[in-house]
Amino acid sequence: MSDISVIGLGAMGSALAQALAKAGHGVTVWNRSPQRIGPLVDLGAVGAESVLEAVQSSPLIMVCIDNYATTNRLLGTDDVVPRLSGRTVIQLSTGTPKEARESEAWLKGCGADYLDGAILAYPDGIGAADSMLLFSGSEAAFQRSEAFLKCLGGDLRYLGESVGAAAALDLAILSHSLGKYVGFAHAARICEAEGVGADLLASIFAQGERARELAEIIHAGAYELSSLHPGASIRVWEEVVQRLQSQARDAKMSSEFPDNISGIFNRAIAAGHGEEDLAALIKALR
């Protein structure tokens, strides 16, 4: 038996599994694309050939994939469901508070304990002292998992048994960031329209600020993401806008903010800029 199984080995899932393995925990890993398993096996992890094998291998199951719907498909098969009973599932996929509540209800019905989480860091920040991870749901599940979670980030926060809290705070922070980024794109257009260079706009902000980086990208016209210039693309952020719209509908609250900015993202993607840095939003405003 392993201590913990990690299902989903994208950039974030791989970083989580690597941190767990380097901390000396027994880790089993599974991914739809098996080539991602090899580097983790080299670190001491055990590769599983199926979701069923990964679930059977550990009392704690950490899932880090695109969305809750995919988690439900992977864990909801006839062979896996009976094996969930007595296990703790830690969900680190991205979703809404409603999805967190639905996942908790479904997994409790399967006899599993459930913890919902949000990672407020990029993959290269996993394990850093200032990386924040939020968790909500079963307090017993958090206490059972805490020793393993501590190696993932130095700022570990348990928010209580209201399972939607982590997803709500995650969306709140993302909404705040979107407001800044879209506002910056408009700010850059003001300067552009008035003949003020993006280099001058960059000089207003301190070194290391995201606004300065965005202005420098616009000034250089270097919008492509790469290993030297990583980050989340316009398409990834557009998915965040969609989640904000979904949450607003679920909570029966105003969706004016995400509805208004969605048009800018949709135009940018339609023009072929979906895989570029957020700085490319300026192209949709021209």
Do 56 and 132 lie in one domain? The reply is yes
| Distance, CA of 241 to CA of 166 (rounded, Å) | 17
Q: Using the 3D structure, point to which of 118, 146, 162 is the last residue of a domain.
A: 162
Residues 140 and 211 occupy one common structural domain? no
Q: Do 18 and 120 sit in the same domain of this protein?
A: yes
Among residues 270, 276, 250, 246, the alpha carbon closest in space to that of 258 is found at 246
Spell out a b/e string for 243-276, using b for 16 or more CB atoms within 10 Å of the CB, else e. Answer: bbbbbbeeeeeebebbeebbebbeebbeeebbeb
Same domain, 111 and 21: yes
Domain boundary among 162, 197, 224: 162
Q: Give, in degrees to the nearest 5, the angle at Cα 62 between 59 and 68.
A: 125
Same structural domain, 32 and 148: yes
Same domain, 98 and 211: no
Q: Write the CB contacts of 237 (distance below 8 Å, at least 6 apart in sequence).
A: 178, 181, 265, 278
Domain count, the chain: 2
Looking at the structure, do residues 279 and 141 belong to the same domain, yes or no?
A: no
**Structural tokens at position 96:** 């809404």
Shared domain check, 131 and 32: yes
- State the distance between the two ends of the chain, measured CA to CA, in whole angstroms: 57
Q: Are residues 119 and 222 in the same domain?
A: no
Boundaries of domain holding 209: 168-285
Query: Measured between alpha carbons, how far is 263 from 186 in angstroms, rounded to an integer?
Result: 14
CA 265 from centre of chain: 19
What pLDDT is attached to residue 281?
97
Q: How far apart are CA 13 and CA 65, in angstroms?
A: 7
Secondary structure, 3-state, 21-51: HHCCCCEEEECCCHHHCHHHHCCCCEECCCH
Whether residue 35 is found in the same domain as residue 124: yes
Positive/negative CA dihedral, 170, 236, 268, 180: positive
Cβ-based neighbour number of residue 126 at 10 Å: 22
Based on the fold, state whether residues 137 and 172 are members of the same structural domain: no
- The rounded distance, in Å, linking the Cα atoms of 251 and 253 is 5
Whether residues 149 and 69 share a domain: the answer is: yes
Q: Which two tokens stand for residue 264?
A: 């800018």
Helix runs in 23-150, H state only: 38-41, 51-57, 68-75, 97-109, 139-149
Sign of CA dihedral 36, 123, 262, 275: negative
Burial 73-95 (b: 16+ CB within 10 A, else e): ebbeeeebbebbeebbbbbbbbb
Of 162, 183, 212, which residue is a domain's last? 162
Q: What CA–CA distance (Å, rounded) separates 176 from 171? A: 9
Q: What is the pLDDT along the chain (286 residues), one digit of tens a residue?
A: 899 999 999 999 999 999 999 999 999 999 998 899 999 999 999 999 999 999 999 999 999 998 999 999 999 999 999 999 999 999 999 899 999 999 999 999 999 999 999 999 989 999 999 999 999 999 999 999 999 999 999 999 999 999 999 999 999 999 999 999 999 999 999 999 999 999 999 999 999 999 999 999 999 999 998 766 777 899 999 999 999 999 999 999 999 999 999 999 999 999 999 999 999 999 999 9
The pLDDT assigned to 232 comes to 85
What is the C-alpha separation between 241 and 247, in angstroms, rounded? 10
